[in-house]
């Protein structure tokens, strides 16, 4: 089993790369953003709480995200009373965004007798991030991709999320990949990392 966390600033292409990797390596793609948007679409109480926070560009509270994440991870772990997992592992996208969340994620994995094998960080220059998010907003019309929210999200990333890289770097599981070029180029670089991990070798 191979469990990966894919990491990067808004606009780095985490979701796109996670989709490609999930298909190629038979991994369950667990996107906290998608999980939250699904709750919003349902109009559940949890989704209504999350929507107001997301529209401001703020980070959704850990209590909401962890609840959804734990449920999704159980689909990978299988276990008593559940069907064996059809996946070879999972790729988590959108979490953690703080050191406290990283510690919580480790706890969730260990509780399910799983482990995080690597954290793949996609590195993209700030100007390119802004350009990409503007382009995405023009196509998707997402309410959380306004100019003000874009800047706020990148600021939050700089202040709160970059320290997570140091947290994982200490464990020796952090791999940084250049994501400034085309999607295919970034995917090729990440797949090289994945192939080494699957062989059980050192990166």
Please report, for the domain that includes residue 121, its CATH number.
3.40.50.300
How far apart CA 108 and CA 144 sit, in angstroms, is: 28
Q: What is the reported pLDDT for 134?
A: 80
Q: Helix, strand or coil for residue 203?
A: coil
What's residue 93's pLDDT? 92
Q: Do 13 and 183 form a contact (C-beta atoms < 8 A)?
A: yes
Neighbours of 132 (CB within 10 A): 18
pLDDT value for 80: 53
Per-residue pLDDT of the chain (203 residues; tens, 9 = 90+): 899 999 988 889 999 999 999 999 999 999 988 888 888 898 888 888 888 887 887 777 888 888 889 888 887 776 555 555 678 899 999 889 888 889 999 999 999 888 999 999 999 988 888 888 888 777 766 655 667 777 788 888 888 777 899 999 998 999 999 999 999 999 999 999 999 999 886 55
Q: How far apart are CA 61 and CA 77, in angstroms?
A: 25
What are residue 196's phi and psi, to 5 degrees?
Answer: -65, -45
In terms of Cα–Cα distance, which of 155, 151, 160 is closest to 133? Answer: 151
How far is it, in rounded angstroms, from Cα 73 to Cα 68? 9
Total number of domains constituting the chain: 1
How far apart are the C-alpha atoms of 31 and 18, rounded to whole Å?
9
pTM (2 d.p.): 0.82
Domain, as residue range, for 60: 2-199
């Amino acid at each position: 089993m191979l469990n990966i966390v894919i990491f990067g600033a808004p606009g780095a292409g985490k979701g796109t790369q996670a989709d490609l990797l999930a298909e190629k390596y038979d991994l369950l793609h667990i996107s906290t953003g998608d999980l939250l948007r699904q709750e919003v679409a349902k109009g559940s109480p949890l989704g209504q709480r999350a929507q107001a926070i997301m529209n401001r560009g703020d980070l959704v509270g850990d209590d909401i995200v962890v609840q959804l994440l734990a449920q999704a991870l159980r689909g990978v772990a299988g276990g008593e009373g559940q069907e064996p997992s059809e996946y070879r592992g999972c790729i988590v996208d959108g979490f953690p965004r703080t050191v406290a969340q990283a510690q919580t994620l480790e706890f969730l994995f260990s509780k399910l007798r799983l482990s995080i094998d690597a954290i793949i960080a996609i590195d993209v220059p700030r100007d390119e991030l802004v350009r990409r998010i503007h382009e995405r907003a023009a196509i998707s019309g997402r309410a959380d991709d306004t100019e003000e929210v874009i800047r706020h999200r990148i600021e939050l990333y700089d202040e709160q999320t970059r320290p997570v890289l140091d947290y994982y770097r200490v464990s020796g599981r952090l791999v940084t990949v250049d994501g400034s070029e085309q999607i295919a180029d970034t995917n090729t670089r990440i797949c090289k990392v994945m192939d080494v991990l699957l062989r059980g070798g050192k990166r």
